[in-house]
Structure 1
């Protein structure tokens, strides 16, 4: 909370996570948030992937800048943003073979600028 700069909270690779809840963080009144989840998530079964909840943030960049592959029965939420100044590349990646998933790139309320909310590729979504 009330952080100046948060960088690379989870900058890695998550593979074969079964029944996991993956939360990259909850940030409130942050100055700058960069690369919150800048990695690759592969073969996640029954997982809830939450890239973060951001409130009254100044700048949010690359919240989920990675690749999500073979997610079964997952809820993927890139974040909920309220009263944000600038939101850029919220979900700038590739989503492949998502079965029974709920994919939410974000809920934005009273935002100044929203750019590239979902700037990626979605393939084979059933």
Structure 2
């Protein structure tokens, strides 16, 4: 079995890494941003979403989203983008090949716990 992943997605920062290490492999802001204006140059490609540090760097030209508020996921579609970024861009792994532990507040409603486990 592969090494378990440990993920803590907070309102301010996401911390992701592998079990058994002293510190997370990556810490990045739990934000994502979309360009405020579509690119008007024909043939010019732009990323649709910027996540974490990249969103922070380009915050002046982006419409920012914060999918976690007070330790609770408030926008599931945006959170899925953060998860995808964590696994494929940051950790460079296929999440289905690793056991996964995600932290959550004890006061998290059962509906959120069920949705996250899907």
Q: TM-score scaled by structure 2?
A: 0.26
Rg comparison, structure with higher value: 2
Structure with bigger strand share is 1
Structure with bigger helix share is 2
